[in-house]
Structure 1
Amino acid sequence: MASSDQPPGPMPPTAHGEKAPGKPMTAGQTMLDTGAAMLQSLKPVKQISQHVCTFALYAHDLGRQIETHHFVARLNQDFLQCAVYDTDSASGRLIGVEYIVSDKIFEALPPDEQKLWHSHAYEIKSGLWVNPRVPETVEKPELENLAKTYGKFWCTWQVDRGDKLPLGVPALMMSPQGVNLGRVRPDLVERRDDKYNISTDSLRASRLEIEEPEWINPQADYWKQHGKGFAIDVIPTEMKKIAPFP
């Protein structure tokens, strides 16, 4: 069994209502964090400019599906990086990272690397990808560009199986697709829609005019063509020997 699919071992004790084990913050720690936030630049974090709510499927088990909250920073027109959380509340847990590249960059990747990526066209067109509270007319130009992109998403904290800590190795995630195994469970979509008072069906209808990419590389969404996903396993290996300085 691949390590990314192994159930966690015994969980550490957690206080009632807490998502992770640990003592509550002290007044001193709170003051330190507040003071540091005022004095330090935190430049990489301040580049985050968008919140996206969508869904992801485990590459080794498409039946395991989660709602995700991407906080997106744009490095340039062809590259975005996302800190992924399980919720947009203040207690949200950082569960992974996704990198998003344009089709131009993706086509230049080696074929074996492309197998780890997924396309976004269906996710955008179907209304599953949303920027909560942002009017559809405002985000549509961005959606038209995103429909041509590819993403690689590693989940580092499998909260859906009850992990109280980020245990084990990262799990590769895939995007929803318009075929049977890739469809998102209706109850997940309904719960998300109720939370933000939106209608995925209405969003899908409003995005009919967004053009489909002329070409979606079949190396992406590899499972659709080959029925195989990817999982990480941990194996012992010899450490590299570095000669000491004379």
Structure 2
Amino acid sequence: MIPKLHSASRMTLTLITASLLGACSSSANPPLAPLGEEKKTKTEVLEAGAAMLQTDSPLEPMNIYLDGFHASKEDPVHQMEAHHFCRQVNQDFAQCVLFDGNTRQANLIGIEYIISEALFESLPEKEKKYWHPHNYEILSGQLVAPGIPGAAETELMEGKMNSYGKTWHVWNSAPFGATGDRMPLGEPTLEWSFNRDGEDMPGLVDQRDQRMGISTSEKRRQRAELKALAKPQSGVDALKGKFPRPTRDLPGVVDKKAASLK
């Protein structure tokens, strides 16, 4: 999920790297603890030994931290915050593990793959229905990289414009406004992005902003310049009309099919 830093100065790159590799700006503890007994001393000793000896881990490069929101594609009022820890595999492809918090106690709740517009367009048509668009998440200010200065974060988001994500949740641990499950139950759920103002449930974004000291509205203002980069995307209208509240379009966020009919 690291963007193309075409014109980024070395100082900007340093700011991004230092912020992402450092501690999270605000702790978000998981909402519940899984069922099961406390760890035994033997287990903790084995973990400590593994940490010292098994150092070549695929998790180590997953040091890009992003925070955003998902809605179930089947049931759009089922919404939750998701903490993404990502690795940029190459310029067009990234992979993320998703948690319900950003502390050591957080529960693993899913995965997300991120691809560029070019890779998305190379997919078979029947596959594209699984991939949600990202422009609203970026332009609305809802997708954030905690701890990064505003200018550097805007530059980070620039490289994500017009990208797509394929997200599966495997644990309903932190649904907004409801009690989560203490075990990963049932089938995986395909998640979607918000694509209009008013699709998110009242309080969902505000709760995150208050806890992390973030202003989504300010980030929206800072990212207004990115609107010029936005192209019509597939999937913007996939959930149109399926939310209980009235919604409003955000300039720059346009469904590709609808745009082709104009």
Q: Tell me the SS of whatever aligns to 1:223.
A: coil
1:170 aligned to 2:184? no
Q: 1:214 to 1:193 in 2, by over 3 A?
A: closer
**Count of aligned residue pairs for this structure pair:** 208
Secondary structure of the equivalent of 1:191? helix
Are 2:62 and 1:48 equivalent residues in the alignment? yes
Q: Residue 28 of structure 2 aligns with which residue?
A: none
Q: Distance in 2 between matches of 1:56 and 1:24?
A: 31
What pairs up with 1:182-193 in 2 under 5 angstroms? 183-193=199-209
1:124 and 2:138 matched: yes
Question: Rg bigger for which structure?
Answer: 1
Counterpart of 1:202 in structure 2 is 218
- Check conservation: 2:154, 2:222, Cα contact below 8 A: no
CA apart distance, 1:222: 5.8
Counterparts in 2 of 1:203 and 1:18: CA distance versus 1, 3 Å: closer
Tell me the distance in 2 between the aligned counterparts of 1:225 and 1:191. Answer: 24
Unaligned runs of 5+ residues in structure 1 are: 1-16, 228-246
Deviations 1:150-191 (A, max 9, x none): 0000010012252111111100000111155xx212311111
Once residues 222 and 201 of structure 1 are traced to their aligned partners in structure 2, the CA distance between those partners, rounded to angstroms, is: 23
Deviation at 1:212, TM superposition (A): 4.6
The answer (yes or no) to whether the contact 1:103–1:149 under 8 Å persists in 2 is yes
Q: Deviations over 1:83-120 (max 9, x none)?
A: 00011122111110000000000000011100111110
Taking a change above 3 Å as real, the CA distance of residues 186 and 42 of structure 1, as seen in their structure-2 partners, is: farther
Pair 166,107 (structure 1): closer, same or farther in 2 beyond 3 Å = same
User: Does structure 2 conserve the Cα–Cα contact (< 8 Å) formed by 1:117 and 1:221?
Assistant: no
Q: Is the 8 A contact 1:71 1:82 kept in 2?
A: yes
Q: Among residues 167, 170, 177, which one is paired with 1:153 in the alignment? A: 167
Which aligned pairs between 1:2-41 and structure 2 lie closer than 5 A? Answer: 19-41=33-55
Displacement of 1:18: 5.7
Contact preservation (8 Å) 2:100, 2:108: yes
Question: How big is the shift at 1:148?
Answer: 1.7
Query: Residue 78 of structure 2 corresponds to which residue in structure 1?
Result: 64
Name the SS of the counterpart of 2:76 in structure 1.
Answer: strand
- Matched residue SS, 1:48: coil
**Aligned partner of residue 62 in structure 1, secondary structure:** coil
For 1:67 and 1:217, locate their aligned partners in 2 and report how far apart those are by CA, in whole Å. Answer: 23
Instruction: Note closer, same or farther for the CA distance 1:209–1:78 as it changes in structure 2 (3 Å cut).
Output: same
Counterpart residue number, 2:4 = none
Tell me if structure 2 keeps the 8 A contact 1:98–1:153: yes
SS in structure 2 at match of 1:43: coil
Matched with 1:211 is 227
User: Closer, same or farther in 2 for the Cα pair 1:25/1:18, shift >3 Å?
Assistant: farther
- Rounded to whole Å, the distance in 2 between the matches of 1:179 and 1:190 is 14
TM-score (norm 1): 0.79
Partner secondary structure for residue 45 of structure 2: helix
Equivalent residue number for residue 11 of structure 1: none
Question: Percent sequence identity over matched residues?
Answer: 35
1:162 alignment partner AA: G
Give me the TM-score of the superposition, normalised by structure 2. 0.75
Superposed CA RMSD in Å reads: 1.9
Amino acid at match of 2:87: A
Does the CA contact (< 8 Å) of 1:122 and 1:178 recur in 2? yes
Taking a change above 3 Å as real, the CA distance of residues 18 and 109 of structure 1, as seen in their structure-2 partners, is closer
Quick one: which amino acid aligns to residue 115 of structure 1? K
1:173–1:212 distance in 2 versus 1, CA, 3 Å:
farther
Partner SS for 1:129:
coil
Q: Mean Cα displacement is larger for which, 187-196 or 138-147?
A: 138-147
